[in-house]
Amino acid sequence: DAKTTQPNSMESNEEEPVHLPCNHSTISGTDYIHWYRQLPSQGPEYVIHGLTSNVNNRMASLAIAEDRKSSTLILHRATLRDAAVYYCILSPPNSGGSNYKLTFGKGTLLTVNP
Amino acid sequence: KAGVTQTPRYLIKTRGQQVTLSCSPISGHRSVSWYQQTPGQGLQFLFEYFSETQRNKGNFPGRFSGRQFSNSRSEMNVSTLELGDSALYLCASSFGDLSYNEQFFGPGTRLTVL
């Protein structure tokens, strides 16, 4: 089964860029890579997703390695509101039945210092 | 646009009882997924319903079941509760396919089993 590995914690300073890594060496060719973040006492919030190419949106950028065995979430200018647990997720095509392998990492706790 | 709502927000049950949790998705979303979040296991996918049919299922015992109604609202049921079922149960809605669509999470239902 595909797995994801993330650092337990990272620290950044406000207004500096943050690079959050995720290793997924057993990723399948059809798995999408998603990133979500979760603040205390809230449900996860979507950040970004991609398949093969790098992606940008208003929140962040996603850099995907050419072999797809790793990816990096980039927050261009961290703010205090970005302090959260960040999850890297592999999302396969519909299985049409049991044992759908939607794989979550343990998450990285990002601390942002003022 | 109203977000995903879950009821109740908190619940206390005793071992052996059964419980039903409710989720109302964002208007227009036909996919509803359920997740269990615990400190030890992290986020785990339970199942997904799309247009009243279970489309994907994770690796949980049959005590965990769900259904979806014609208005896309969904319920999750856990029978014969065990202490290990204590967790935050999250519901997420999506417009379409889980693999490449953004999921919107609700705030969760905190279930405590005594």
Cβ(A23)–Cβ(A69) under 8 Å? yes
**Least CB–CB distance from B57: residue in A49, A91, A97:** A97
Tokens representing B49 are 């319903």
Measure the N-to-C terminal CA separation of chain B; round to a whole number of Å: 37
| Average pLDDT score, chain A | 92
Comparing CB atoms, the residue among B55, B59, B90 nearest residue A43 is B90
Tell me which chain B residues have a C-beta less than 8 angstroms from the C-beta of A100.
45, 47-48, 56-58
- Which parts of chain B sit beneath pLDDT 70? 1
Residue A1: pLDDT band with limits 50, 70, 90: low
pLDDT of residue A63: 98
Percent of chain A scoring above 70 in pLDDT: 96
Taking CB atoms and an 8 Å limit, are A93 and B97 in contact across chains? yes
C-alpha distance from B24 to closest chain A C-alpha (Å): 14
* pLDDT given at position A103: 76
Cβ-nearest to A99 among B55, B59, B108? B59
Q: Which residue of B has its CA nearest to A94?
A: B56
Q: Which of B98, B101, B104 to mutate to test the interface with A (most CBs of A within 10 A)?
A: B98
| Residue pLDDT, tens place only, A31-84 | 999 999 999 889 999 999 999 999 999 999 999 999 999 999 999 999 999 999
Amino acid code (one letter) for B9: R
pLDDT on residue A102: 81
Helix, strand or coil, per DSSP, at residue B114? coil
Q: Does the pLDDT value for residue A2 go beyond 70?
A: no
Using CB atoms within 10 A of its CB, is residue A111 exposed (0-12), middle (13-18) or buried (19+)? middle
Q: Chain A closest CA to B4's CA: distance in Å?
A: 10
Omega before A93 cis (within 30°)?
A: no
Higher pLDDT pick, A103 / B82: B82
